[in-house]
């Protein structure tokens, strides 16, 4: 079972059912064309290999990090205290607020979360390849971004104050190192894997 890292906001969105897809940067970024030199969009079927041309003209294979049917466990920011695992995405807790104030108890980055602490399990149902800016309104909402809508649907003057796509763009850039924004940020429009998933119960995931 493979892990998938999620930040706190992403985990919150998964817990309430708002996030059903995630995008991951393709590294190395294609210099020429993808998908055997032909398809630039479409599903990546089990066993398919993406081909890319490097700047020095060599062909490299890029294998999707996950395949349809893979079951994943989510790594999230956590803390083990009082004999239990606690999760930052659950919000503030009076006891934890006190514990975290001591150097011995600190929130641990998701990268360090052991499998035994996992509480969220996902099954991959689709993998495709696209440019980051190909994201649509529905795509951004599936990423967990709600935007901000003013007024009711049929009211005069109603409309988006903040589009979900714009919220997603800001969220994406927040996950990229400042030194890499020119290569991998929203404005750079990099190639990404688009991974759709559904939640599964722990018992089902462990089968």
pLDDT tens for 5-29 read 999 999 999 999 999 999 999 887 7
> 60 and 43 in one domain?
yes
What is the C-alpha separation between 22 and 143, in angstroms, rounded?
Answer: 6
What is the C-alpha separation between 30 and 55, in angstroms, rounded?
Answer: 9
The kind and range of the H/E element at 174 are helix 164-174
pLDDT tens for 85-117 read 989 998 766 556 566 555 567 788 999 999 999
What is the C-alpha separation between 181 and 194, in angstroms, rounded?
Answer: 19
What residues make up the domain containing 100? 77-112
> 126 and 100 in one domain?
no
User: What does DSSP assign to residue 141?
Assistant: H
For residue 120, being part of any structural domain is answered with: yes
Distances (CA, A) of 34 to 30, 44, 72, 127: 7, 11, 26, 14
Look at residue 70 and tell me whether its pLDDT is greater than 80. Answer: yes
> 34 and 13 in one domain?
yes
Helix, strand, or coil here: 203?
helix
Look at residue 62 and tell me whether its pLDDT is greater than 70. Answer: yes
For residue 207, being part of any structural domain is answered with: no
Q: pLDDT-based confidence at 146, cuts 50/70/90?
A: confident
| Contact of 66 with 124, CB cutoff 8 Å | yes
For residue 16, being part of any structural domain is answered with: yes
The count of domains in the chain is 2
What is the C-alpha separation between 158 and 111, in angstroms, rounded?
Answer: 42
Residue 72 belongs to domain with CATH number:
3.10.400
What is the C-alpha separation between 178 and 194, in angstroms, rounded?
Answer: 23
Domain termination residue (choose one: 65, 96, 112): 112
The kind and range of the H/E element at 9 are helix 8-15
């Amino acid at each position: 079972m493979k892990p998938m890292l999620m930040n706190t906001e992403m985990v919150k969105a998964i817990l309430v059912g708002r996030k059903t897809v995630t995008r991951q940067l393709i590294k190395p970024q294609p210099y020429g064309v993808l998908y055997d030199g032909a398809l630039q969009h479409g599903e990546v079927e089990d066993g398919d290999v993406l081909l890319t041309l490097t700047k020095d003209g060599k062909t490299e294979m890029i294998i999707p990090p996950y395949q349809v049917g893979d079951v994943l466990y989510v790594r999230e920011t956590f803390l083990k205290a009082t004999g239990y695992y606690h999760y930052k995405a659950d919000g503030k807790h009076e006891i934890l607020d006190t514990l975290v104030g001591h150097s011995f108890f600190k929130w641990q980055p998701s990268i360090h979360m052991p499998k035994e602490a996992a509480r969220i399990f996902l099954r991959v149902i689709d993998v495709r390849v696209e440019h980051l800016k190909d994201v649509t309104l529905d795509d951004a909402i599936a990423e967990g971004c709600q935007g901000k809508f003013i007024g009711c649907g049929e009211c005069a003057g109603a409309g988006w104050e903040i589009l979900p796509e714009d919220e997603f763009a800001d969220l994406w850039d927040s996950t990229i190192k400042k030194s890499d924004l020119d290569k991998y940020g929203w404005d750079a429009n990099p190639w990404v894997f688009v991974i759709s998933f559904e939640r599964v119960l722990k018992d089902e995931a462990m089968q």
